[in-house]
Amino acid sequence: GQNIDQPTEMTATEGAIVQINCTYQTSGFNGLFWYQQHAGEAPTFLSYNVLDGLEEKGRFSSFLSRSKGYSYLLLKELQMKDSASYLCAVIDSNYQLIWGAGTKLIIKP
C-alpha cells in the first residue's frame, strides 16, 4: 500500500530552527509537496521537489532524496506565526496526491 509518515507533533522555540521529516512509500513518484495549514484554514503551498537536493525559499527549505524515499522541511528563524500543521504530500504514478497526516508544530516563546 501507499504510505507517508511524518511526526505527529513537534515543539520548537521562537528564533530556532526545526526540521520536519517525511518518509514515503508510494507506487511511483512524480513530486513531493509541503503545505502549511493553520487551524480552520485551507492548506497553503510551501514547496515542491521533484529532483534530489535542497530547495531554499526564504526561511523555508525543502530537501528530497528519491532513493531513500525521504524529504524534510527546514524552518529557520522560527516565528510564532509558524505554529501550524505541516503536510507532506506525494504525487504517485497515477498523478494522485497521497497525503501524510501532518505534523503539528508548536512554537514556544
Partner 1 sequence: GAVVSQHPSWVICKSGTSVKIECRSLDFQATTMFWYRQFPKQSLMLMATSNEGSKATYEQGVEKDKFLINHASLTLSTLTVTSAHPEDSSFYICSARGSGDTEAFFGQGTRLTVV
DSSP secondary structure string, 32-64?
A: EEEEEE-TTS--EEEEEE-SSEEEEETTEEEEE
Is the separation of the CB atoms in 65 and 71 below 8 Å? yes
Measured from the CB atom, is 13 or 27 closer to partner 1?
Answer: 27
Least distance to partner 1, CB of residue 90, Å: 11
Q: How far apart are the first and last CA of the chain?
A: 40
Residue numbers of the site for partner 1 (CB under 8 A)? Answer: 30-31, 33, 35, 40-45, 48, 50, 87, 91, 95-97, 99-102
Least distance to partner 1, CB of residue 79, Å: 22
Measured from the CB atom, is 84 or 91 closer to partner 1?
Answer: 91
Half-sphere exposure (Cβ direction) of 90: Cα atoms closer than 13 Å: 25
Least distance to partner 1, CB of residue 99, Å: 5
